[in-house]
Structure 1
């Protein structure tokens, strides 16, 4: 009997420890009074980073929403279809290209292992061109990860942006009207908004030892491959928008990926490759560096996505 009580006590301690380590999120919109401020434990699919759908009052994985770019890297298109685009390490690729908006992503990674046909890659930074401005968001190179240390770098037109400290702090640009950056957490998580154009949520995350073990990344102690997890929301895209992600918002786009397989791959590296993070020279580029009148009435339906596994398989999206 004594042994049973000892085992029970140990089990309780382990449960308590797990609860202490659990990450939580809460609704930040006071409009939803019955949900506002209530803490929710993050789902198993995103135990360290999640957000709360205030309308449903439940935690959701940001990486399972349309417009998401996460992991290795996994995209959820504007059409709600999940796909992978691996690109190549140390190269830049056009993610979105529109006449008045161009977004490139810089990929970092590890060289492909014997037997693999691709590199392990992650999006380390993005270069956003809108009108006549250039905005850089990037993850610093980090050896040992510390959640409390801010590893996100921001520059506007080559000038560093210094955000005020503290969750909820805002910064607004004097030179780029309508540009606002807000901290979602004390470190490593922000939203970037250009009024009537786009909102980008960016989080800096490391490759953990557990992820490295499961996926055989072989991450070493000198570099945890800190990278970005991104969510995009657009307000004024034209039906001709292109780019790895942008094309999924274009009129009449039909995804070429094989839906339902473990890793549906989006090809086209040759079409989307750019010579620099701020070069609008990929084969499908449309950026002209000037504002255009958006297409009236061209709105994209809200799509909700969910996955039953941490690996992201079996994602289902519904309008």
Structure 2
């Protein structure tokens, strides 16, 4: 791949390697000889989930990159701006909707003492072509790192990815490729020319529960998904909680100075179930008139580390 950067969502970075051992990550790209094989401690902000930028030879938090959906849920938009979208527990919301792809998320959570729901993304439902892909976290009481807690279904049928890091499962008919990046709970899901998703299942740890006041008990560790999205062919009409942030005309409405900038207007993104396409902003299967601004986007960005700004070129 030479010295070129790779486009991830609308952000550029060199080859990365996904964390396989808790607390440390390593660059596995031999092109970067000065970094290859060197192990790094994960940053304090993500002590168990980090990646290495082999070009810079530095570890970074995957949840700090554009296209990320993590935590309670904390988004990094396609414009590089961080925001929260809490939604409601046991409800479904549209994350991305375009003519050829539609992604909904199912939220789980519990009521906080302040009156709002603590929420996390438990599952996503992807529609592309005539296919439906379900990617979710199983409900578990006590978390065990080596136990597979990810549920994957294609068109209603369970998918069993072979055990072992690097093992791959393919569906030629759907153009789908799923690859493991750890023994359990960490995969990439890809349809060439359409999307690539890095998905991991993680629990709410006792430390997180104490710090944030989640009051998580031993009956349910609220296993949930943390996600990084990369899109290859979004149009300028794309919408959804995350999707709208990729539009050229989009201007963030969140209060940048707030400690927790929150995206509102949940009613626009609510949908009745995980594979529903009738949210108020749905674009799925709608014909795009390129003369009216529906041409695919070709966007590249750089800089930033998931803070509140990024330089982009369209």
State if a TM-score over 0.5 links the two structures.
yes
Q: Which 10-residue stretch deviates more, 23-32 or 217-226?
A: 23-32
Displacement of 1:306 in angstroms is 2.4
Please say if residues 80 and 308 of structure 2, whose CA atoms lie closer than 8 Å, have aligned partners that are also in contact.
no
The aligned runs of 1:217-256 (5 Å cut-off) are 217-256=214-253
Q: Which residue of 2 aligns with 1:8?
A: none
Aligned length: 290
For 1:205, which of 202, 205, 209 is the aligned residue? 202
- What 5-or-longer segments of structure 2 have no aligned partner? 1-20
The aligned runs of 1:103-142 (5 Å cut-off) are 103-113=103-113, 115-116=114-115, 118-142=116-140
Q: CA RMSD in A?
A: 2.1
- Structure 1's 295 and 40: CA in aligned 2 closer, same or farther, altered over 3 A? farther
Q: What do residues 19-46 of structure 1 show as CA deviations (whole Å, max 9, x unaligned)?
A: xx96111123343343233221111110
CA distance in 1, matches of 2:117, 2:260: 14
The aligned runs of 1:1-319 (5 Å cut-off) are 23-113=23-113, 115-116=114-115, 118-177=116-175, 179-288=176-285, 298-306=297-305, 315-319=308-312
Displacement of 1:301 in angstroms is 1.9
Return the structure number with greater helix share: 1
Displacement of 1:97 in angstroms is 0.1
CA distance in 1, matches of 2:285, 2:27: 39
What SS class does the counterpart of residue 51 from structure 1 fall into? strand
- Structure 1's 223 and 131: CA in aligned 2 closer, same or farther, altered over 3 A? same
- What 5-or-longer segments of structure 1 have no aligned partner? 1-20, 308-313
Please say if residues 129 and 289 of structure 1, whose CA atoms lie closer than 8 Å, have aligned partners that are also in contact.
no
What SS class does the counterpart of residue 247 from structure 1 fall into? helix
Q: What do residues 201-237 of structure 1 show as CA deviations (whole Å, max 9, x unaligned)?
A: 0010000000000111000100000000000011100
Instruction: Tell me the TM-score normalized by structure 2.
Output: 0.87
CA distance in 2, matches of 1:168, 1:132: 28
Return the structure number with greater strand share: 2
